Amino acid sequence: MENKARLVIDSLSDNIGLARVTVASFASQLNFTLAELEEIKVAISEAVSNSIIHGYKGEIGEIDISMRVYEHQLEIIIEDQGCGIEDIKTACEPAYTTADRMGLGLVFIDSFMNKFEIESKVNQGTRLKMVKIPAQEQKQVN
Catalytic residue among 46, 68, 71, 117: 46
Catalytic residue among 101, 117, 119, 123: 101
Active site residue 20: no
Active site residue 50: yes
Show the CA angle centred on residue 66, arms to residues 93 and 31, nearest 5°.
85
Contact present, 68 and 75 (Cβ < 8 Å): yes
Active site residue 38: no
Which amino acid is present at 118?
I
Catalytic residue among 50, 68, 71, 123: 50
Q: How far apart are CA 100 and CA 56, in angstroms?
A: 15
Active site residue ranges: 46, 50, 101
